[in-house]
Structure 1
Amino acid sequence: MTDSLGAITWWGFSPALDLQDKDIEMQAKHLNLDNGLATEVVNILLVGAGDIRHILKTISRAYRHTNKQLNFYVVENSLELLARQLLLLMIACEDRNRMGLQEKMELFLEVFGNSLIRQQTNEYIIEKSNLLIKMVTDLDFLASSFPALDISALKFKERDQLEAIFKFWRNPDNQVFDISTYWDNRVRKHLDQRYDSRRNCFDWDYNMKLRDRGASVINGKQYGAWRDTGVAFEARDGNYDIPNKTLASGLLFKQGGATMQQRGYWGDIVCSPYLAYGIESENKELFKTQNGTHIRTAADVSEFNVLSLLYELSNKETYVPKETTEGKKQDIPSATLTEITEEEEETEDDVKEIGTCNEEQITDNILLENVKIFFLPLGSAAEIHKKSKYKKLFNLVYFSNSMVHNINESLKTIMADGATVVLETAKFMLELTEEQYMQYVNKVTAMVKNIGCKPSPKSDAKNDNFATFTFLGSQ
């Protein structure tokens, strides 16, 4: 299974969650007194989420709920993941006077899910890498320029390694990361003798696995093209021919008794980035079918969902698309410009300028009010219970399906009474058989029950994307 799913979770294998949604039944019991006003504090621990989809959806829709201070504590097993999360948060918070909403959405998805990107996107990553280097090496600059982020808990060695990652990103030599070759080698190894008939293999996985698990909106041709090249989103015309260095990571191999690290692409080559934003939406019009076939695709759904979240993050109101004629491609471009003045509207000439930025411009970014995102040291899920400041702190704890092995008695120390536990199921882990999937469900459910949690009445661990539980409290 590791050969196809990889060793690093660049994108999650489940849709984005609003962690304040009423169905999650989260409780917040701590109060934060700020200027005499009482604000509920919600502390959320995310273990192995992989990307920022849950953070983005939760903070974008925070205005829909009562006024709360949202504190996210992020634990990952790779610094490359933390680096990507920092970059994607910066993209999401770009001021719309500098970057139009449509362009921001396309840029976000391109960096998020494409092995190959456009030249102007590469220039943007290089410029942002310079800012990110200053942020991780100067915490005062980070606090003043992006106060919602806090990396002070990271070890000095980890911050040094983050700096090295960003320096690699800004390397102008695109040959240092030949992702197309790395991708093809992964596909060859995975399919082995079936490689020459890979298109048929991709079609089989789509029809016999992906569609049956509730992701029929993913278009078979798009899925096959992504499996072959690693390019999932091509919203704007242009040449997608520059390696996306943000998908580079190292993996340790043993050879001749020695351990060696090899840089390459070590992420998912089977499930696809469409799962994060492309299979669920409030806009049910996106899931209309004609003669049993979806009119829209998961790429369309992803574009709409990300654009909606970015709009809500900026405007604190629900995004409502303009009405379109039947059969027209999703109305993202025209709808995007309804809230932008003529002076702000981007043109094709402006697109090439997205790579230009400086330290002053970051201060004009969207301010994340009542939000704090703490990045914790690698692997700290196993150690966090030893620190007194985390005792009974968390109102919600989230585990990805690759990190459920961290569920043990120590969690009882850090969870507040009545806290919610959210587990990502293995519904979209396509390499699992039905029997293996049920074994996973039964084992994980037992693990959570053993630490004093009861399943939510609305939760169905077998059929849902997530299973939710309530912590009954220390006995």
Structure 2
Amino acid sequence: MFWGISTALDLYEEYAKAFKLQDDCEVAGAGDTSKVSPAALNILICGGADARHVIKTLAKRYTHRVQPKLNIYVLDGCEEILARSMLLLAIALESSDSFSLVGLVHLFMDVYGNSMMRPTTHHYVAAKARTLLKMVTDEEQLQHIAPMLNLDGLKYREKDGMEMAFNFWQPKPIHFYDIKSYWEQRSRALLGGRYDHRLGVWDWDLSMTLKDREGQQICSQEYRYWRESGIAFVFPEYELCKPNKTFAAGLVRNGRTYLHRGYVGDIQTGPFCGFGLRTSEERMLNSVHGENDYRSTDIVERNLLELFHELQTQTPYKHDPTRSRRYGSVLLQMSPVLTYNEADDHNQEIYDKPWIEMPNITVHFISPMDIVQLKEGAKRWRGVFDIAFVAHNYINFLTKEFFNVLKDQALMIQETKLMTVERKEHLNNFESKAKDLMKEAGLRPSINYQAINGKNMFLKYKKCVGAEEELEEEVVIDEKKVVIDEKEVVVNEDPPAAESLEIVELPAN
């Protein structure tokens, strides 16, 4: 609920690859217009749960010579998730004058995946929440600090919900959030009688399930510690002792305080998928006898350093190898998690500097109620989106009418349940259902899933109406068969050359 279970995507790059767009020609130029990027792209992120796709799309934008205007529509199920996504985006686009690059990355990791935070992160969240509250309630402040944001799609009730979240994040004793107890209660409810043997359950989930499904980079020590405490990203020099109130959901006013639903997020996969499974730094993916040189935590740190550097400088990032610490096979001594209830200083620093400028980018936060209109293919959304990303837990909203919101040339990306600990038959049933839905809607796969027997974190389908699409040639040779575009063709082998034949004399009868 608070993070996705798939890697961050550059959504414009995915669109360009799907339709083989010429990234080196001018927008709206002459020639083959089917290979030219549109002047503007509308992107729907439905249930993304965090800002990972937005961050990577913005960070990698400078790498594309063709840079169409991007309208990104973010839809999530509740106001607290929208408020948290807004905070994560604010950290990613924080002014470089406020933090060093490493400090900003560790701040993001704290908020993103740790149930307990450092005191410095705790104070930042409280201070930033006050600024975000002004932005939600005052259009002038919004335009001054983050003109790229558009909140017109939110109803007053949803803005009130975000206001409650920002208020709840303040360091007030009456805003009680005992994440340690909530986490343990969820774990006990999930495991039942197996709770006393939970270490064996967690090792099974990681070693026999997640590591077989693209999760090889997750180390057993960090995974077990996260399953026990809710703390995913650990560095020895930090003390994590303040509750992460951004995990609170279902906030309701109760006099001067708030009622909430405790912790209702993921407790089986972890926040490692978004940024911590793969990296362009190949040496960091090395492992010896199943022991990784680097943790998923270190991969997250390295990838965020790259993305935040690119956001700030619009230049390629070169990683310093001495920056990353090889803790993959090191047994770190984990001290008990303590809650530090010191008197919070209310004279905190104010973080209200304008965000990093992103020309021709608009991020629209839209109402959770719009999912019903999208499901029914409402007229106001018909033919609006060039790209749609749908999270795995939103598949029930996919109907034949939903696909009417896509343009005649559009890319549909469906997240799968690959990075869950569910049984394989559940994963296969999910994929089959998603493929059938998209096939019935007239979409065709971007790659030939029948020819490629692999594990799919995403299903990528495209809509092409009124255009002659090139034959997608995903060729797999299996003995005498070639599969081309879901059609099986038998290949006749050439007869062997005469000089290659061996002559054998048969014995006389």
- After TM superposition, is the score higher than 0.5? yes
Q: Deviations over 1:207-239 (max 9, x none)?
A: 111111121110001100000000011236232
Instruction: State the shift of 1:410 in Å.
Output: 2.2
Separation in 2, partners of 1:100, 1:26 = 39
Partner residue in 2 for 1:348: none
Of 143-152 and 457-466, more deviation after overlay is shown by: 457-466
Residue 223 of structure 2 corresponds to residue 231 of structure 1: no
Residue 157 of structure 2 corresponds to residue 157 of structure 1: yes
- SS of residue matched to 2:393: coil
Match of 1:281 among 275, 279, 282: 279
Separation in 1, partners of 2:455, 2:382 = 33
Q: Deviations over 1:276-319 (max 9, x none)?
A: 11001122121012234211110110110111111111111221
- In the alignment, is the contact (CA less than 8 A) between 1:418 and 1:471 conserved in 2? yes
1:10-21 matched pairs, under 5 angstroms: 10-21=2-13
Q: Deviations over 1:125-169 (max 9, x none)?
A: 110111111111112221221011111110011111111111011
Aligned residue identity for 2:372: A
Separation in 2, partners of 1:326, 1:317 = 21
Instruction: State the shift of 1:104 in Å.
Output: 0.2
1:434-445 matched pairs, under 5 angstroms: 434-445=424-435
1:2-41 matched pairs, under 5 angstroms: 9-22=1-14, 24-25=17-18, 40-41=39-40
CA 1:13–1:461: 2 relative to 1, 3 Å: farther
Separation in 2, partners of 1:322, 1:244 = 30
Separation in 1, partners of 2:171, 2:370 = 31
Partner residue in 2 for 1:194: 194
- In the alignment, is the contact (CA less than 8 A) between 1:218 and 1:298 conserved in 2? yes
Separation in 2, partners of 1:79, 1:411 = 23
Structure richer in helix, relative to its length: 1
Aligned residue identity for 2:227: R
Separation in 1, partners of 2:129, 2:227 = 28
Of 79-88 and 196-205, more deviation after overlay is shown by: 196-205
- In the alignment, is the contact (CA less than 8 A) between 2:377 and 2:402 conserved in 1? no
Partner residue in 1 for 2:53: 54
Relative to the length of structure 1, the TM-score reads 0.84
- In the alignment, is the contact (CA less than 8 A) between 1:27 and 1:419 conserved in 2? no
- In the alignment, is the contact (CA less than 8 A) between 1:75 and 1:375 conserved in 2? yes
Partner residue in 2 for 1:471: 463
1:76-475 matched pairs, under 5 angstroms: 76-173=76-173, 176-235=176-235, 237-250=237-250, 262-324=260-322, 356-359=349-352, 362-363=353-354, 365-384=355-374, 388-430=379-421, 432-457=422-447, 463-473=455-465
Separation in 1, partners of 2:230, 2:325 = 28
Separation in 2, partners of 1:20, 1:182 = 39
Q: Deviations over 1:65-117 (max 9, x none)?
A: 12221110011111111000110111111111221000000000100000000
Instruction: State the shift of 1:172 in Å.
Output: 2.2
Q: Deviations over 1:383-419 (max 9, x none)?
A: 1466655332211011100011222222343211120
Separation in 2, partners of 1:236, 1:73 = 38
Separation in 1, partners of 2:150, 2:202 = 41
Instruction: State the shift of 1:473 in Å.
Output: 3.0
CA 1:174–1:464: 2 relative to 1, 3 Å: farther
- SS of residue matched to 1:43: strand
CA 1:17–1:381: 2 relative to 1, 3 Å: same
Of 176-185 and 450-459, more deviation after overlay is shown by: 450-459
Of 107-116 and 69-78, more deviation after overlay is shown by: 69-78
Of 215-224 and 13-22, more deviation after overlay is shown by: 13-22
- SS of residue matched to 1:214: coil
CA 1:175–1:149: 2 relative to 1, 3 Å: closer
CA 1:179–1:324: 2 relative to 1, 3 Å: closer
CA 1:40–1:210: 2 relative to 1, 3 Å: same
Instruction: State the shift of 1:27 in Å.
Output: 8.2
Relative to the length of structure 2, the TM-score reads 0.79
Root-mean-square deviation (Å): 2.9
Q: Deviations over 1:185-206 (max 9, x none)?
A: 0011111111112112111111
- In the alignment, is the contact (CA less than 8 A) between 2:302 and 2:319 conserved in 1? no
Q: Deviations over 1:337-370 (max 9, x none)?
A: xxxxxxxxxxxxxxx99962254xx22x311222
- SS of residue matched to 1:267: coil
Aligned residue identity for 2:399: N
- SS of residue matched to 1:367: coil
Structure 1: gaps of 5 or more residues: 1-8, 33-37, 253-260, 331-351
Separation in 1, partners of 2:348, 2:438 = 46
- SS of residue matched to 1:471: strand
Separation in 2, partners of 1:451, 1:461 = 24
Aligned residue identity for 1:376: I
- In the alignment, is the contact (CA less than 8 A) between 2:219 and 2:291 conserved in 1? no
- SS of residue matched to 1:303: helix
- In the alignment, is the contact (CA less than 8 A) between 1:154 and 1:375 conserved in 2? yes
Of 107-116 and 197-206, more deviation after overlay is shown by: 197-206
Separation in 2, partners of 1:327, 1:146 = 35
Of 265-274 and 65-74, more deviation after overlay is shown by: 65-74
Of 60-69 and 233-242, more deviation after overlay is shown by: 233-242
Separation in 2, partners of 1:41, 1:195 = 52
Partner residue in 1 for 2:342: none
- In the alignment, is the contact (CA less than 8 A) between 1:427 and 1:463 conserved in 2? yes
Separation in 1, partners of 2:21, 2:347 = 40
CA 1:39–1:397: 2 relative to 1, 3 Å: closer
Aligned residue identity for 1:269: I
- In the alignment, is the contact (CA less than 8 A) between 1:73 and 1:376 conserved in 2? yes
Q: Deviations over 1:32-57 (max 9, x none)?
A: 9xxxxx98211101111111111111
Instruction: State the shift of 1:471 in Å.
Output: 1.1
Separation in 2, partners of 1:325, 1:232 = 19
Higher relative CO (Cα under 8 Å, sequence separation at least 6) belongs to 1
- Structure showing greater radius of gyration is 2
